[in-house]
Amino acid sequence: MKVILIPAFPSRRRGRKEVSFRPIAGFLFFVSLVIGMAPRQASAVPAYARQTGQPCQTCHVGAFGPQLTPFGRDFKLNGYTLSDGGDHFPPLAVGIQSSFTHTAADQPQSPAPNAGFGAAGPNNNFAVDQIELFWGGQITPSIGAFIQETYSEVSNGFHWDDMDVRYAHPGELFDMNYVAGITLNNHPTIQDLWNSTPAFGFPYVASSMAPGSSATTQIDNMLAQRVIGVGAYSMWNDWLLTEFDLYAPLDRSALNALGIVPVSGATLYHGATPYWRLALQHGFGDHYFELGTYGLQAENYPGGDQSAGTTDKFTDIAFDANYQWTGNRDHFISAHTTLIREQAKLDASSILAGANSSDRLTTFRADLTYSWHDTLVPTVQYFNKQGSNDANFWGTDNGSPNSAGFITELAIVPFGKSSSFSPFYNMRFDIQYVTYTKFNGTSSHAWNNNSLYLNLWLIGAAW
């Protein structure tokens, strides 16, 4: 069973760290390396398949993460500890993603000038997005983990990626069941059970070779791998989830040691960052619903510059909803939506860059997925960002951060089923098109930023 995580990188969608890839022979070498391996989450990791004896489709919609089924959410809630009773010390899994990106118009600058395999051109770029190492599963009957290390061509080196280590304790109180636990993680929302929150929200793969909007809320993966936190959570009677986490920032030396780049000139977070989560879930026959809220408060030094003697302060409050039709696994339907509203008090940026004293940014996303026999998985998403005008903060020509459009995608997953040749190997091929109706505050020529993205993702158990 796989729980799939998708690496977190700043900017929607934490943009995959890609680079121009000229030697196609190198890609074939990596394919041969990975073909002895399977999926990821906490990412759909084949390690979980070994541990549970279940194929990927048991935990994941479309037989490949990160979309979770009800069984997959329970597996994660209970700390990745469910096992078939065998001796399964958490093994390694390996994954590789390679891609091709085409944009409607050539870009004025290379999207990856310092890539490990050579600078990217203005258009039509092949890339090895990343090579991934996963370690995860049951450590003790009550403790489990998902830990990822990633090689990025952008930095031309390994860096720590998403991590979620859990202690979970199921029990019964007042004739009602509960699960209480503790999570140690490095990315707010990575520990969440639903695919409406940023860490595991659609799109599950995305190109960093394509243009992206300039504005992103803090909770939308901006703190990923730049903080470390611990939290407590509980699920009461299988319907009410509550959680509270507290994150501490990592300084430049820690970020450098962990391979997070860039360090020089990068935003540094300051002080404790609280994160909260409240969600209600319930199933009505073949229909499953979730409705919740989540949010955080964060402070940072923009660009790492502390000379202003103060920080920018952000409060993000979000709402989300999920729906799944679970009546027939050959025809599975799921829908997710989230609304994130950020209020920013820009004490530092107003001094350092002449930004407004305060700004707001609202992000809305809604997507619908249909899975046919866990093999063909089309998805469509509408996205919209709107905020206050501030040319010195957003960096857009007209001062507006507003962007909107659609993402359409077809994922093809030939394996990951009980009938597949092995439950420990999987692959996914994505054909994705991003259409902008508005980009960084203007509808004029927004289509220039449209992009076609082809992604091949291979993953399997290393042992």
| Torsion of Cα atoms, 93 then 459 then 212 then 9, to 10° | 0
pLDDT value of position 316? 98
User: Quick one: what percent of the chain has pLDDT higher than 70?
Assistant: 82
Read off the pLDDT of residues 243-293 as tens digits, 9 standing for 90 and up.
Answer: 999 999 999 899 988 988 776 678 899 999 999 999 999 999 999 999 999
Comparing 42-51, 167-176, 219-228, the range with the smallest average pLDDT is 42-51
User: Quick one: what percent of the chain has pLDDT higher than 90?
Assistant: 64
pLDDT value of position 57? 86
The whole-number average pLDDT for the span 128-136 is 86
Q: Which domain does 103 fall in, by range?
A: 3-461
* Distance from C-alpha of 179 to C-alpha of 182, rounded to nearest angstrom: 10
Read off the pLDDT of residues 336-390 as tens digits, 9 standing for 90 and up.
Answer: 999 999 999 999 999 999 999 999 999 999 999 999 999 999 999 999 999 999 9
Question: Parallel, antiparallel, or unpaired: how do β-strands 240-249 and 227-236 relate?
Answer: antiparallel
Q: Measured over all CA atoms, what is the biggest interatomic distance in the chain, rounded to whole angstroms?
A: 64
Burial class (CB in 10 A: 0-12, 13-18, 19+), 84: exposed
Q: Write the DSSP symbol of residue 58.
A: H
Comparing 30-44, 364-378, 380-394, 428-442, the range with the smallest average pLDDT is 30-44
- Distant-in-sequence, close-in-space partners of 364: CB < 8 Å, separation ≥ 6: 337, 338, 339, 340, 382, 383, 384, 385
pLDDT value of position 463? 57
Beta-carbon neighbour count of residue 80 at 10 Å?
30
> Does residue 77 surpass a pLDDT of 60?
yes
* Distance from C-alpha of 330 to C-alpha of 62, rounded to nearest angstrom: 9
* Distance from C-alpha of 150 to C-alpha of 259, rounded to nearest angstrom: 10
- The values of phi and psi at residue 131, to 5°, are -115, 130
Asked whether 49 and 257 are in contact (CB, 8 A), the reply is: no
Highest mean pLDDT among 8-17, 130-139, 228-237, 260-269: 228-237
* Distance from C-alpha of 102 to C-alpha of 207, rounded to nearest angstrom: 10
Q: Evaluate the CA torsion angle 147, 152, 154, 157 in order and state its sign.
A: positive
Structure tokens at 437: 């109706």
* Distance from C-alpha of 255 to C-alpha of 428, rounded to nearest angstrom: 31
The whole-number average pLDDT for the span 302-307 is 93
Comparing 21-35, 103-117, 309-323, 394-408, the range with the smallest average pLDDT is 21-35
pLDDT value of position 87? 67
> Does residue 399 surpass a pLDDT of 50?
yes
pLDDT value of position 50? 58
- The values of phi and psi at residue 24, to 5°, are -60, -30
> Does residue 42 surpass a pLDDT of 50?
no
Beta-carbon neighbour count of residue 171 at 10 Å?
9
Beta-carbon neighbour count of residue 342 at 10 Å?
24
3 state SS of 75: helix
Question: Parallel, antiparallel, or unpaired: how do β-strands 451-461 and 425-438 relate?
Answer: antiparallel
* Distance from C-alpha of 323 to C-alpha of 321, rounded to nearest angstrom: 7
The whole-number average pLDDT for the span 320-326 is 96
* Distance from C-alpha of 75 to C-alpha of 58, rounded to nearest angstrom: 10
pLDDT value of position 18? 34
Annotate 432-461 with b (16+ C-beta within 10 A) or e (fewer).
bebebebbbbeeeebeebbbbbebbbbbbb
Q: Write the DSSP symbol of residue 304.
A: G
> Does residue 25 surpass a pLDDT of 50?
no
* Distance from C-alpha of 453 to C-alpha of 7, rounded to nearest angstrom: 17
The secondary structure of 230-280 as a DSSP string is EEEEEEETTTEEEEEEEEEE--HHHHHHTT-S--TT--EEES-EEEEEEEE
Q: Evaluate the CA torsion angle 445, 448, 449, 451 in order and state its sign.
A: positive
Domain count, the chain: 1
Asked whether 62 and 374 are in contact (CB, 8 A), the reply is: yes
Structure tokens at 16: 């995959």
* Distance from C-alpha of 330 to C-alpha of 408, rounded to nearest angstrom: 21
Read off the pLDDT of residues 148-173 as tens digits, 9 standing for 90 and up.
Answer: 999 876 566 788 999 999 999 999 98
The whole-number average pLDDT for the span 326-337 is 92
CA angle (265 as vertex; 264, 267 as ends), nearest 5: 115
Which residue type, as a one-letter code, is found at position 84? D
- Distant-in-sequence, close-in-space partners of 253: CB < 8 Å, separation ≥ 6: none
- Reported confidence tier of residue 43, pLDDT bands at 50, 70, 90: very low
Bridge partners, 168 (sequence order): 181
> Does residue 114 surpass a pLDDT of 70?
no
Domain at 9, CATH number? 2.40.160.10
- Reported confidence tier of residue 8, pLDDT bands at 50, 70, 90: very low
